Amino acid sequence: MGYTEADLAEELQSSEYKYGFVSNFETDRVEKGLSEDIIRLISSKKNEPEWLLEFRLEAYRNWLNMKEPEWAHVRYAKPDFQDITYYSAPKPKKKLNSLDELDPELKSMYDRLGISIDEQKRLAGVAVDVVIDSVSVQTTFKEKLAELGIIFMSFSEAVQEHPELVKKYMGSVVAPNDNFYAALNSAVFTDGSFCYIPKGVRCPMELSTYFRINEAGTGQFERTLIIADEGSYVSYLEGCTAPQRDENQLHAAVVEIFAHTDAEVKYSTVQNWYPGDKDGKGGIFNFVTKRGLCDGDRSKISWTQVETGSAVTWKYPSCVLKGDHSEGEFYSVAVTNNHQMADTGTKMVHLGRNTKSIIISKGISAGVSENSYRGLVQINKSAHQARNFSQCDSLLIGDKCGAHTFPYIEVKNKSAKVEHEATTSKIGEDQIFYCQQRGIDEETAISLIVNGYAKEVLNQLPMEFAVEAKKLLEITLEGSVG
């Protein structure tokens, strides 16, 4: 018997994981296990329309016939799907009266990440005071978006308020039977985010789940749907550098992006889920399906991710380049330390003419971790003059970790131009010694070298996110040498 939810819960209580916190949920739960009845119950609790229930049930029936994928270069005890509680509506976290009540360890982590006091309060669930009224900030924010016709709300709200949009686009990029975990998500997802940018609108601010205050914590099966209508632009931020723990071990999210003609979507993620302890016990399994469809001509989707958390990561943010002259980008830094395992990369599927894609992946492995890049560049027959450039670099810290690169290239059109570069290097003792000789201690030296190495990707992140992400890399790699 593998590691169970109960073990995780217990460990979260007693663990040394100094950066996280456990919120004591009072939950409205359904019984454990998965069946059509449970799905009907979830759907009715959420007051969903009939078509959505059908969507879920169809996904579930497909899922029953699917096998859990085993091709990824990761090892873990498979979850027992009948031992999971699929619906629990979490109540708000316990309110703190001030930051003084916050776990000093967590406070220090926030400080080190450079998270502002306001933000700290929000993250920690400190009751808002007169001076910092985040509720009013949020209201102003919502009003501004509404003026532009931008819809940004929870997925559940969107189902109620904009069922026609949800119905039209949901499953259009990631089909409910796309893969094992996407099917599971489609059957049992509880909530997530929905975003619609109308024609010709340039969203004036970075849209972040921060603002759609998620006091209730993150769902286990989240679903995000972003639709960028003709000529629109949005930059969307997911996650945050602040460490996140969760009572659920398995996370299987689905993110769909639909870009119409001339639309551009920039999607940035910083993922810092609980990675398990130093001995590899516990930690979150993060099995995510993220895909963007460049449906219209000249549309563009750009993924940037900084992955530092989770015990096991299985994630391939992809682009389907259907529109002519459409572009896909993937910039990734994936760090693994201790016993973490990550199998991550992207898929660029070229269908339209003159489509372009770029892949920059930087893997960093430390401890006894395993870090794999897996990427597919597929140039289909119809994709005349398609171009791809891929660069996959791996950096090793210490001599007990692993870095692997699995590039797949399929070219069915002779006019394509595909370039692939890959390097693997060990962090140079010479580099570290050089820094030390200049007065820089070993850990600072490593973080300096690593940040330099990952610079190309970090530069893609919105400014504030980038600053925090740099510090996050530093903290993640602490104690990885010596």
Partner 1 sequence: MLKIDNLHASIEGKEILKGLNLHVKPGEVHAIMGPNGSGKSTLASVLAGKEDYEVTDGSAILDGKDLLDLEPHERAGEGLFLAFQYPVEIPGVSNINFLKTAINNIREYRGEEPMAAKDFLKLVKDKQQLVELSGQLAKRSVNEGFSGGEKKRNEIFQMAMLDPKLAILDETDSGLDIDALRIVANGVNQLKSENNSFVVITHYQRLLDYIVPDVVHVLYKGQIVKSGPKELALELEEKGYDWLKETEAV
Q: Tell me which residues touch partner 1 (CB under 8 A).
A: 428-431, 433-442, 444, 448-449, 451-456
Q: How many CB atoms lie within 10 A of CB 16?
A: 8
b/e map of 410-422 (b: 16 or more CB within 10 Å)? ebeeeebebeeee
DSSP 241: S
Q: Closer to partner 1 by CB, 103 or 456: give it.
A: 456
Residue whose CB is less far from partner 1, 232 or 460: 460
Give 27's strand partners: 90
**Smallest gap, in angstroms, from Cβ of residue 425 to partner 1?**
10
Task: Give the residue with the Cβ less far from partner 1, 182 or 449.
Answer: 449
Which residue, 49 or 398, is less far from partner 1 as judged by CB? Answer: 398
Closer CB to partner 1, residue 452 or residue 479?
A: 452
What does the alpha-carbon distance between residue 222 and residue 288 come to, in Å, rounded to a whole number? Answer: 9
Choice between 92 and 452, CB closer to partner 1: 452
Query: CA 430, CA 115: separation in Å to the nearest integer?
Result: 34
Cβ 320 vs Cβ 290: under 8 Å: no
How many whole angstroms separate alpha carbon 158 and alpha carbon 147?
18
Cβ 458 to partner 1 shortest distance, Å: 9
Minimum distance of partner 1 from residue 274's CB (angstroms): 29
In the DSSP assignment, the letter for residue 27 is E
- Please, what sign has the CA dihedral across residues 418, 423, 424, 427? negative
| Interior/surface letters 245-264, b for 16+ CB within 10 angstroms, e for the rest | bbbbbbbbbbbbbbbbbbbb
Report, in Å, the least distance between residue 133 CB and partner 1.
34
Find the helix packing angle between 117-124 and 134-147, rounded to 10°. 100
Q: Which is nearer to partner 1, 7 or 456 (CB)?
A: 456
Decide whether 145 or 472 has the Cβ nearer to partner 1.
Answer: 472
Shortest CB 422 distance to partner 1, Å: 16
Helix (H), strand (E) counts: the chain: 13, 21
- Short-list 336, 345, 334, 291, CA closest to 311: 336
Output 51 or 434, the one with its CB closest to partner 1: 434
Residue 308's closest CA among 454, 476, 465? 476
Considering the complex, what minimum distance in angstroms separates the CB of residue 362 from partner 1? 10
DSSP state of 333: E
**Of the candidates 161, 163, 255, 157, the residue with the CA atom closest to the CA atom of residue 214:** 157
318 vs 338: CA distance, rounded Å: 28
Least distance in angstroms from the C-beta of 435 to partner 1: 8
Separation of first and last alpha carbons in the chain: 35
- CB of 427: closest distance to partner 1 in angstroms? 11
- Find residue 320's DSSP bridge partners: 293, 349
CB of 212: closest distance to partner 1 in angstroms?
34
